[in-house]
């Protein structure tokens, strides 16, 4: 009798406990925050990403912190998987990273992504550490297909339901080369694709990185025709990825696991594609450093917030949601208190850095970008000017604000161990036009 009562008590106890959710983390490569229909782009076709956005929580001021190298994707992923900021992560240390923490919390951890742009130690912390065939999806016309195929195969043939899963799926696209099949290209009429609101044929000055590979994808000046062609390819590849995300969702539904899966969607950074006369992500404008950041699933309220977030907040946020223990020295902060309505935000400023040529800080609606080697400072009010079209730095009435934000930028540099100077001897400021590129080609 005593044994029966004990068994009944244990059954009641188990029934009262929340079933631990699975976690599906979807991470694209080079996706701007304005490429999801549910977040305001009325023309792009992203029904499956819309499903996440409409049922869950969206952060509309989320950022990649920046990069110390031209390949921004590499430090971006290092920060995200380590929970540490740009100048503090150790790519050789696997202990205490995202995959390691989730595995130790009892999750079946599975990673699939690009081989060349994340520290092997971070990826090896996953129980299953797999790689995409480089360039296969990008050149096939079906971005995301093989990634989805292999994820679905894992779910249906390898995953054992005794443990919840943590899947980190890092797609190859919509990074170039952007080859999209007719079924994706046919979703859009090129002539109806609008130019970016901040389109320019040239960037107004040399920002220190005008000759990196991304900027060589299109000729100068950036013509309207060329920009629309690239945007057509770009949107088509995003729609392809969205379709294959939907296939993963259907597989989860067939397994009866969709309702018990926390889904996270983001990207490693944005992309200019004609904004400000640029094409790459080697800039600190909102188009380059801004990222989509969506959470949905059990325990995730429905809502939106402009609270500042970094990509490296995803790790402690998910750990918080599932009850996993994280190292105490992370720079990332859980965003769960924001989603639950307990806090308006977890930080009051955002610091951005690109190599030693660009630095930026944002507080409230105001953003300052500093280019030390060009001796240029820009100031934008993102509430009135979300596309950063009107530089207010030279206005006398903004002199005190520029001074305050310059001081804040220096403070943030110290806080994040950034030693790059904001002033350099003999800075230049080269106006960018056709003559500028003619002279550059001679050198």
* Tens digit of each residue's pLDDT (9 = 90 or more) over 233-266: 999 999 999 999 999 999 999 999 999 999 999 9
Give the CA distances from residue 242 to residues 148, 150, 177, 239, 394, in Å, rounded to whole numbers and listed in that order. Answer: 10, 16, 18, 5, 43
Q: What is the pLDDT of residue 164?
A: 98
Rounded to 10 degrees, the C-alpha dihedral 335/307/245/48 comes to 120
Return the top range by mean pLDDT from 23-37, 115-129, 135-149. Answer: 23-37
- Cβ neighbour number for residue 119 with a 10 Å cutoff: 21
Instruction: With cut-offs at 50, 70 and 90, classify the pLDDT of residue 442.
Output: confident
Give the CA distances from residue 357 to residues 360, 371, 391, in Å, rounded to whole numbers and listed in that order. Answer: 11, 6, 18
Q: What is the pLDDT of residue 4?
A: 37
Q: What is the pLDDT of residue 17?
A: 57
Rounded to 10 degrees, the C-alpha dihedral 30/33/39/45 comes to -20
Residues 209-242 have pLDDT tens digits of 999 999 999 999 999 999 999 999 999 999 999 9
Q: Which of 289, 253, 338 is nearest to 62 (CA)?
A: 289
Q: What is the pLDDT of residue 44?
A: 98
Give the CA distances from residue 225 to residues 34, 52, 137, 195, 231, in Å, rounded to whole numbers and listed in that order. Answer: 20, 33, 26, 9, 10
Contacts of 32 (CB under 8 A, 6+ apart): 267, 270, 271, 273, 287, 290, 292
Give the CA distances from residue 61 to residues 73, 279, 326, 367, in Å, rounded to whole numbers and listed in that order. Answer: 19, 21, 24, 12
Look over the chain and give the mean of its residue pLDDT values, rounded to a whole number. 94
For the record, the structure tokens of 103 come out as: 């595995």
Residues 171-183 have pLDDT tens digits of 999 999 999 999 9
Instruction: With cut-offs at 50, 70 and 90, classify the pLDDT of residue 120.
Output: confident
Q: How far is CA 138 from the centre of its chain?
A: 19
To the nearest whole percent, how much of the chain has pLDDT over 90? 88
Q: What is the pLDDT of residue 317?
A: 98
Asked if 152 contacts 247 with a C-beta cutoff of 8 angstroms, the reply is yes
Query: In whole angstroms, what is the distance from residue 125 CA to residue 97 CA?
Result: 8
Q: Tell me the three state secondary structure of residue 81.
A: helix
> How far separated are the first and last CA of the chain, in Å rounded?
91
Instruction: With cut-offs at 50, 70 and 90, classify the pLDDT of residue 134.
Output: confident
Residues 187-212 have pLDDT tens digits of 999 999 999 999 999 999 999 999 99
Q: What is the CATH number of domain 350-442?
A: 3.30.1120.10
Taking phi first (over 0 means left), then psi (-120 to 50 degrees means alpha), and beta for anything else, what does residue 135 get?
left
User: How much is the pTM?
Assistant: 0.94
Residues 2-48 have pLDDT tens digits of 333 333 333 333 434 568 999 999 999 999 999 999 999 999 999 99
Q: What is the pLDDT of residue 1?
A: 39
- H or E segment at 310? strand 303-310
Q: Which of 354, 74, 87, 72 is nearest to 208 (CA)?
A: 354
Contacts of 83 (CB under 8 A, 6+ apart): 96, 97, 98, 312, 315, 316, 326, 327, 330, 331, 332
Give the CA distances from residue 419 to residues 68, 83, 105, 402, 412, in Å, rounded to whole numbers and listed in that order. Answer: 12, 21, 37, 21, 11
Domain with CATH 3.30.1120.10 in the chain: 350-442
Q: What is the pLDDT of residue 117?
A: 77
Residues 316-331 have pLDDT tens digits of 999 999 999 999 999 9
Residues 331-387 have pLDDT tens digits of 999 999 999 999 999 999 999 999 999 999 999 999 999 999 999 999 999 999 999
Domain with CATH 3.40.720.10 in the chain: 21-339
Q: What is the CATH number of domain 21-339?
A: 3.40.720.10
Per-residue DSSP letter, 157: I
43-64 burial string, b = 16+ CB within 10 Å, else e?
Answer: ebbbebbbbbbeebbbbebbbb
């Amino acid at each position: 009798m005593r044994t029966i009562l004990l068994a009944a008590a244990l059954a009641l106890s188990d029934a009262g406990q929340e079933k631990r959710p699975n976690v599906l983390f979807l991470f694209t490569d080079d996706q701007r925050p304005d490429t999801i229909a549910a977040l305001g782009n009325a023309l792009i076709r992203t029904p499956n990403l819309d499903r996440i956005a409409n049922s869950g929580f969206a952060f509309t001021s989320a950022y990649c912190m920046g990069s110390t190298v031209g390949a921004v994707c590499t430090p971006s992923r290092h920060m995200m998987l380590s929970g540490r900021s740009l100048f503090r992560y150790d790519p050789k240390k696997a202990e205490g990273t995202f995959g390691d923490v989730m595995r130790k919390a009892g999750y079946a951890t599975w990673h699939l992504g690009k081989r060349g742009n994340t520290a092997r130690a971070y990826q090896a912390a996953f129980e299953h550490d797999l790689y995409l065939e480089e360039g296969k999806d990008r050149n096939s016309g079906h971005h995301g297909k093989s990634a989805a195929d292999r994820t679905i195969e894992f779910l249906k043939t390898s995953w054992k339901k005794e443990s919840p899963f943590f899947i980190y799926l890092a797609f190859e696209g919509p990074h170039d080369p952007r080859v999209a099949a007719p079924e994706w290209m046919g979703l859009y009429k090129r002539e109806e694709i609008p130019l970016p609101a901040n389109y320019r044929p040239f960037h107004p000055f040399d920002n220190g990185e005008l000759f990196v590979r991304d900027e060589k994808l299109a000729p100068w000046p950036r013509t309207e025709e060329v920009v629309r062609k690239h945007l057509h390819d770009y949107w088509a590849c995003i729609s392809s990825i969205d379709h294959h995300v939907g296939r993963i969702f259907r597989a989860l539904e067939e397994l009866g696991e969709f309702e018990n899966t926390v889904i996270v969607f983001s990207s490693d950074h944005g992309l200019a594609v004609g904004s400000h006369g640029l094409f790459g992500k080697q800039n600190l404008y909102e188009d380059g450093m801004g990222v989509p950041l969506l959470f949905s699933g059990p325990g995730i309220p429905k809502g939106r917030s402009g609270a500042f977030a970094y990509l490296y907040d995803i790790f402690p946020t998910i750990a918080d949601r599932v009850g996993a223990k994280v190292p105490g020295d992370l720079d990332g902060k859980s965003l769960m208190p924001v989603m639950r309505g307990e806090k308006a935000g977890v930080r009051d400023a955002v610091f951005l850095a690109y190599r030693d040529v660009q630095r930026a800080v944002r507080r409230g609606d105001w953003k300052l970008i500093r280019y030390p080697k060009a001796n240029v400072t820009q100031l934008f009010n993102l509430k009135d000017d979300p596309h950063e079209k009107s530089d207010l730095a030279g206005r006398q009435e903004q002199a005190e604000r520029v001074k305050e934000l310059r001081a804040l930028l220096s403070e943030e540099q110290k806080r994040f161990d950034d030693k790059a100077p904001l002033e350099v001897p003999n800075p230049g400021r080269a106006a960018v036009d056709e003559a500028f590129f003619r002279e550059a080609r001679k050198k």
